[in-house]
Amino acid sequence: MSGDAVFAGTINQSGVLDIQTTRQHTDTTLARMVRMVEQSQARRAPAEQFVERFTRYYTPLVFLLAFTVMAVPPVLGYGAWAKWFYQGMVILLIACPCALVISTPVSIVAALTALARKGVLVKGGAYLEEMSRVRAFVFDKTGVLTEGRPEVRRVTPLGGRTLEQVLERLAGLELSSEHPIARAVVEYARRQGVHALPAAGFRTIAGRGVESGAGFWAGSAQLLQESGRLDGLSAEIDRLSANGEAVFACGEGASVWALVTVADPVRAEAAGVAQALRRQGIERVLVLTGDTRTNSEPVARVVRADELRTEQLPADKAVRVRELRSEYRHVAMAGDGVNDAVALSAASVGISLGLSGTDVAREIADVVLMSGDLKSLPLLRRHARKTMAIVKGNIGFALAMKAAFLVAAGLGVATLWMAVAADMGATFAVTLNGLRLLRAKES
């Protein structure tokens, strides 16, 4: 279809396509996925950093202990050099931190790999560990809890203007916007057979709407109120939005040209996902949206949100997320739009809904759901918690093995072969345990 995006690797089965390149090869979806995977390897989890710090001091101490056992007793005349050299080698092998060092990275890499296979790109073990600790979850509404494929239901021209006059200017303005409603307007104009007049000087009015350099604008009721254009339209807007549909206006200068009614159904899986997150220990579910309360309350009821805040500007969302972090410390947010970018960066874990989201949201987010399926959220949470349980288990097992055999060495009952078996056995055990995370089950 004319105007649609064509992704690299797309196969044309029949016919002829005229395709215009709009981005560099470094900006393709595949290139971004590669960068995200590379970044995930650089951002290590706190558990990995702990092990590294621990071994930084542990390893020199082990060498010092082994050297002391080898040299001090024979120098003081408490036995032959060969005997104490043997004992020192036993201690060195037993205390070797191989199992401890490998226990965490193997588990983290296995977990990241499993999630990537499911279409969940986590940009580092740090965010996976943080996801296991999340206590509050924030959702944007449009495109996250709703389908993100809104449809224009009706356009109500005002001031004696015709539908064609309105759509020519409105669709031309929305051609430059990434918002799902903008795409719905352009598609509606196409179905009506109206040719869009491209608008120059496009700019976004954060959280409120868009406008062109010529002064043509489109925006929410909040924009109308702030600009003094709402007079006489409140009753009509309330009537059009009575069934939960969103209403926005467009016009030029101080003149309102039309009211546009848009419907965006709630995702079928939204309620189940919210319930699953609560079962996994999420204490509070919130919905923050720039839409009106009339349009947002039905969605909040579906997911049984603990809190709904409407008509939120990007800065408002970020402020609320920071407040939640001061209360719960670990807060995740799922969003997909430019208006969510600041709040995503403010959250402990920012989650973008893949290809349906904007470029800005994907770049800022810590986790990208490439499939755009909300069901990936419980999977992410569950796998993150399982990962940290295995990491802690591996660390505990490795340390317990070292302690037990060091005691045996101190009592003189440990042999060199026992030390080799203990070191290699522990390393093999924690590796196999970590590799279990290569399987990320849906439920």
Catalytic residue among 4, 18, 27, 140: 140
Distance (Å, rounded) from C-alpha 398 to C-alpha 134?
27
Measure Cα distances from 41 to 122, 352, 439, 440 in Å: 10, 19, 19, 19
Q: How crowded is residue 222: how many other Cβ atoms within 10 Å of its Cβ? A: 20
The residue assigned the tokens 């036995």 is 79
* Tokens 């045996």 belong to residue: 408
SS (H, E, C) the chain: CCCCCCCCCCCCCCCCCCCCCCCCHHHCHHHHHHHHHHHHHHCCCHHHHHHHHHHHHHHHHHHHHHHHHHHHHHHCCCCCHHHHHHHHHHHHHHHCCHHHHHHHHHHHHHHHHHHHHCCEEECCHHHHHHHHHCCEEEECHHHHHECCCCEEEEEEECCCCCHHHHHHHHHHHHCCCCCHHHHHHHHHHHHCCCCCCCCCCCEEECCCEEECCCCEEEECHHHHHHHCCCCCCHHHHHHHCCCCCEEEEEEECCEEEEEEEEECCECCCHHHHHHHHHHCCCCEEEEECCCCHHHHHHHHHHHCCCEEECCCCHHHHHHHHHHHHHHHCCEEEEECCHHHHHHHHHCCEEEECHHHCCHHHHHHCCEEECCCCCCHHHHHHHHHHHHHHHHHHHHHHHHHHHHHHHHHHHCCCCCHHHHHHHHHHHHHHHHHHHHHHHCCCCC
Q: Is 27 a catalytic site residue?
A: no
Active site residue ranges: 140
